[in-house]
Structure 1
Amino acid sequence: QCAQVEDWQKAKSIYEFMAKDIDGNEVSLEKYRGYACIITNVLTQLHATYAEKGLRILGFPCNQFGKQEPGTEEEIKEFAKSYGAEFDLFSKIDVNGPHAHPLWKWMKEQPKGKGTLGNNIKWNFTKFLIDREGKVVKRYSPMDDPVVIINKNIPHYSYIQKTCILGKKISVCLKYRMSSYFWAVLSLHVI
């Protein structure tokens, strides 16, 4: 069963949602069951560092913030490819307003997914931490560093050892690489 436009409020987890990939194919988020997830902007360096440990990124382009993602799906795909992105990329979506993707509507309405000053996504880099059962654990502001989020939270939701966590040098690289304005799901495989 898939929670979409009419019934998104009844969903119990992200696994009840579908999204079109960058090529227009419907993908069930059920395939990410058993993964801890962070929903945020695409982090190519983070993906490269954690891929062998089960990291998955689902990129959701969004053009609602200063029209920073005006390209077609094909242009977005080529742009991501030019950065060496090897993650699942989805079609462009809205994250706010009446046409927002049902997954995003649902995440913003969850008890731990609500914003401080209203539930709308304020800008790129808003992040949602999702546990292995597909539930929203916490919402982070655009200013929260994804490396800090991983260091602080991911060990509680996966079995990755502390030695695998990113260091300060890579953190600087991450901040630089976050200039592409995509929305994404980052997930760490539970081993």
Structure 2
Amino acid sequence: MSRFYELSARSLEGEEIAFSRFKGRAALVVNTASLCGFTPQYAGLEALHEAYGARGLDVLAFPCDQFGGQEPGGRPEIEACLTRYGVGFRVFEKVEVNGERAHPLFAWLTAALPGLLGRKVRWNFTKFLIGRDGRPLRRFGPATAPRRLEGAIEAALAPPR
């Protein structure tokens, strides 16, 4: 069984969500921030959620304040940003993605899919694609627009050969 399915996180509403509920579905994990230059990517992530959700993709957003203090607020401020971008996908409580206090999901993902800086997330809106089998497939940098992930998402959602 994939390590992904053994993990969990608390939703923005405070509910503990076991990732085993995403078994058999692909997931796009993104660390987000409300005051970042990449924050408009929320709209593109929502478009992916709308286009591929019914086909088996879950977009999972994790607000993080580790980069330039760009997610300084709490739940009310995060929700205001989500409302501004019409976000309907699952958003979790604020987490750390690097360092000793990194959420176990990001510790696992950065070990499995190191980036230009090795086992660290470089900035807000780094994206990780997880396959239907719970295995990490690809990592995309912050500047990669969500629409540019469509080919990789299609491949992740394709039936096994």
TM-score, normalised to structure 2, is: 0.80
Same amino acid, percent of matched pairs: 38
Q: Who wins on radius of gyration, i.e. which is larger? A: 1
Cα pair distance change 1:13/1:83, threshold 3 Å: same
| TM superposition shift of 1:54 | 4.2
The answer to whether the 8 Å contact 2:2/2:135 transfers is yes
| TM superposition shift of 1:73 | 1.4
Aligned CA RMSD, in angstroms, stands at 2.2
Give the alignment of 1:1-191 within 5 angstroms: 12-40=2-30, 41=32, 42=42, 43-110=45-112, 113-151=113-151, 153-159=152-158
Cα pair distance change 1:130/1:68, threshold 3 Å: same
Amino acid across the alignment from 1:20: R
Partners in 1 of 2:117 and 2:84 — Cα distance?
36
Where in structure 2 are there 5+ consecutive unaligned residues? 33-41
Partners in 1 of 2:60 and 2:117 — Cα distance?
27
Partners in 1 of 2:103 and 2:46 — Cα distance?
23
Q: Which moved more, 1:50-59 or 1:22-31?
A: 50-59
| TM superposition shift of 1:126 | 1.5
| TM superposition shift of 1:46 | 2.5
Partners in 1 of 2:150 and 2:144 — Cα distance?
11
After TM superposition, the runs of 4+ consecutive aligned structure 1 residues lying more than 4 A away are: none
Cα pair distance change 1:26/1:45, threshold 3 Å: same
Partners in 1 of 2:50 and 2:153 — Cα distance?
17
Residue 39 of structure 2 corresponds to which residue in structure 1? none
Partners in 1 of 2:23 and 2:91 — Cα distance?
18
Aligned residues: 148
Where in structure 1 are there 5+ consecutive unaligned residues? 1-10, 161-189
- Tell me the SS of whatever aligns to 1:108: helix
The C-alpha deviation readout for 1:54-83, integer Å capped at 9, x for no partner, is: 443222111111111111113212321232
TM-score, normalised to structure 1, is: 0.69
Higher relative contact order (CA 8 A, sep 6+): 1
The C-alpha deviation readout for 1:116-150, integer Å capped at 9, x for no partner, is: 23211111122212111111112222233332222
